[in-house]
Structures are given as structure tokens and as C-alpha cells.
Amino acid sequence: MTIALVYGGRSTEHEVSIASALTVHRALKQAGYRVLLIAIALDGRWYLQPNLLSKSIDATIPIHAVPGLGLYVQDAKLDIDAVFATTHGYGGEDGNLQGLCMLCRLPLCGCDTVSSALGMHKHLASELFMQALIPTVPTLLLDKNAVQQVEYTTLLERARSTLGPDLFVKPENSGSSVGVSALKDCDAKALQQAVELARRYSERVLIQLLIHPLQELETAVLETRDKGLVVAGPGLVIDPAKETVGFLSYEHKYGKVDTAHIRIPSGLDDTTETIIKNYARKAFLAIKGDGYARIDFFVSENRIYLNEINTSPGLTDTSHYPALLASVGYDLSSVCKHLVENALLRNAQEKLRIYTPPGY
């Protein structure tokens, strides 16, 4: 069986995607699959790659998609049984790549178009979580029009009265702590700078309550054929740099020095862990998740907040999702097997649906 491993992308998380692909490539091989490497360059073009992954993309063999048929190199169709994408962020995690796979009738490991889009757009996901009675971080949304017309002194007064003096500003549809700012008792100028930074990565901006002190917890969800929905964790995120600004920076998530790691078990009491697991399960179902996801929480002063869901979590050697699943007996090769099986099953079910008008 041949799995197309798709990585890279026109995204701020391009390098993280490549690092994840290196780990997944090894796991897929260990699981017994033949792996076809497909890299998405920073300009968005797709290329077939040599056998070895590297940070530099070989742009000599372009790939084109034919809806209804599959992926091609010139006139030759690529033999692909399923797609495993380690793409993150814009174009690769937001439903675009997932929609392309659906149009090309390629089974895809992980979430589909709708759940990927919901997971990427944090405010939309948050609305669903609240409907499912899952507590979320108090938030103000600045949509495209509001951002363009905002008066920052008025906005600061509104944010302080609604959320409090300490604020957290982030893009509405980005990840890996890119474009975020933590503001303690800020003035209007600092808020403006934070919003403008977030706007570089997203048309819509979220202003949230900056929760501190806090413990950051993560859970891993995996859809399996034999045990149904497995929820691993929660694990406690440990930051060796001891940052106190309320979030982990990109460097402390993926850098080589003082990288954050996860402690399993978390050290929380059993009741709190059970509540977090139940919230994770409900959140995954709320966005109609498929395959896998990482779901992150904050705990502060005995209150639990769902922070966000990640439908394409990092899968590097230091990523937390694989560590969480390993703690309950699933190494990455077995995770990959479950994801491939789930993708093939979903594709088989899709083929049984009727999409043609009566009489055709």
C-alpha cells in the first residue's frame, strides 16, 4: 500500500511541517507502507521528491491535480492509496488541502474539509464548544471591518470592561504562537501594536483574557477501529525557560534550546483529569473531527478553559501529541496505521453515497 506523505506548504509553519514529515516518514515505513514524498514549496507548488527528505525542496518534478481522478506527473497518474499530510497553517490545515484531496477522490488521514476549517478558525470552533457547554477563554472578536475602523482607546476600554486589564491578542486563524502578544495592564498604543501584528497573519483578530497564573494541559485524541475514540492525557506542559507571559513562543515550542516538553501524568487530581478528557472528547465531536487532533486546555484557580483544538498537530520527535499517545500504548507507527485505516474506511463509505440526480 502506498501512502503519499505531503509536507511543506505556503505557511509560516513550513519548517515545522518538514520536521513532522521526517518523523512520520519513519513511522509509516515501520508500519510497512510504501511512502511517496510530495513537497509543497513556499510558493504553493507541489513537487514529487527523491527518496530522502530534506529541508530543501527538489523542484524538478511538478505534480498537478485532476479533480475526480487524482494526482499526476505529466500524463502519468500517481499510484496513491491514501494521503497523510503533515502540513500546518494556511492552505494545509484550514480545509483547502483537505478539499483538494476530496475532489481528487484521495483518502485522507485525519480531519476533513469542514472540521479542518473549524479547527483553524478559532472563533468558529469556540462558538461550537460553548454550544456543547465546554468552558472557553473569554474573547472579543475583531472581524475584518472592525479591525479597519477601530479606535484603540475605545477598544481598550471595551476590552478592559469585558475581559479585564490583562489581555492576550492573537490571529484568529494561525498557529504555533505566531503573531501573538501578551499584554499586562497595557495602554492603547500597545494594544494597537498587538492587533497590527496579529493582522499580518489573519484578517480577523482575537482579544482574550490573559489567564495567569495558569497550567497548560494538552490531550491527544485518536480515532481507532477497535476502541473507538481514545483520549490520552492530559499532560502538563513544562516550560524550562519559565516564561511568565502566558504563552509558549514559537522558539520554545520548536527550538533546539529550552524547548517545552510535556509531563505525563500531569499531577492533577483524578477528577480534574477526567473532566478535561470528557471536554476533549466533546470538543472533537463538536467540530465533527475525524482521525486525530490535539486539544489544549488552561487550568487556573480550579477553573478549566478549553484553549483551542489543533486538527493537524505537530508530529516531530519532540512534539507532544506522539508522547501523549505513547503514554497509553500507541507508538507513532500504530497511530499511523489507525489513521490510514480510518481514511480508507471513510473513503469506502463516501463511495456508497449517491450524488447523482434520479434517472442518471
* Catalytic (active-site) positions: 13, 176, 319
User: Annotated binding residue at 258?
Assistant: no
Instruction: Answer whether 166's CB lies under 8 Å from 185's CB.
Output: yes
Rounded to whole angstroms, how far apart are CA atoms 24 and 29?
A: 8
If you ran DSSP here, which 8-state letter would residue 136 be given? Answer: B
User: Annotated binding residue at 51?
Assistant: no
Tally of CB atoms within 10 A around 105: 14
Rounded to whole angstroms, how far apart are CA atoms 360 and 358?
A: 6
Rounded to whole angstroms, how far apart are CA atoms 277 and 279?
A: 5
Residue 261 in grid coordinates: 516538553
Rounded to whole angstroms, how far apart are CA atoms 29 and 11?
A: 27
User: Annotated binding residue at 308?
Assistant: yes
Instruction: Answer whether 4's CB lies under 8 Å from 38's CB.
Output: yes
Give Cα separations from 334 to 5, 219, 232, 339, 350 (angstroms): 16, 18, 14, 9, 24
Residue 64 in grid coordinates: 498537478
Give Cα separations from 190 to 155, 177, 182, 194 (angstroms): 12, 18, 10, 6
Which residues sit in the known binding site?
296, 308, 310
Instruction: Write out the binding residues for Mg(2+).
Output: 296, 308, 310
